[in-house]
């Protein structure tokens, strides 16, 4: 039978890193959107208004994507914690206790 080994600390570390990277990218994207929208609002034309509307829609889509990725990372962390707890329970069940070993 094959054995699966999970490095729990690596999972937690990577999900935290990815969550931080997502937040950094989101802040940078929002700053870029705000800057572009400010520049476009100074111009007076229907095309610029439509472009600004499209950018706002894309910004909303980006936010939804970020929220979805954050939920997925939370799911990964939660699932990993659950597997880790279950693994500990199984290990304890199959590891003879010292009281049993003395008998």
Tens of pLDDT, residues 12-50 = 999 999 999 999 998 998 898 888 878 877 776 887 788
Read off the pTM: 0.67
Give the C-alpha separation, 49 to 94, whole Å: 67
Which DSSP letter does residue 6 get?
-
Tens of pLDDT, residues 46-102 = 877 888 888 889 889 988 999 999 999 999 999 999 999 999 998 888 888 765 555
CA distances from 48 to 5, 40, 51, 58 (A): 55, 6, 5, 15
């Amino acid at each position: 039978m094959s054995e699966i080994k999970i490095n729990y600390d690596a999972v937690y570390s990577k999900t935290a890193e990815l969550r931080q990277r997502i937040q950094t990218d989101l802040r940078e994207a929002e700053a870029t959107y705000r800057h572009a929208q400010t520049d476009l609002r100074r111009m007076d034309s229907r095309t610029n208004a439509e472009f600004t509307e499209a950018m706002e829609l894309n910004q909303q889509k980006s936010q939804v994507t970020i929220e979805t990725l954050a939920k997925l990372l939370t799911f990964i962390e939660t699932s990993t914690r659950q597997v880790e707890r279950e693994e500990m329970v199984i290990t304890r069940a199959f590891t003879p206790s010292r009281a049993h070993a003395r008998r």
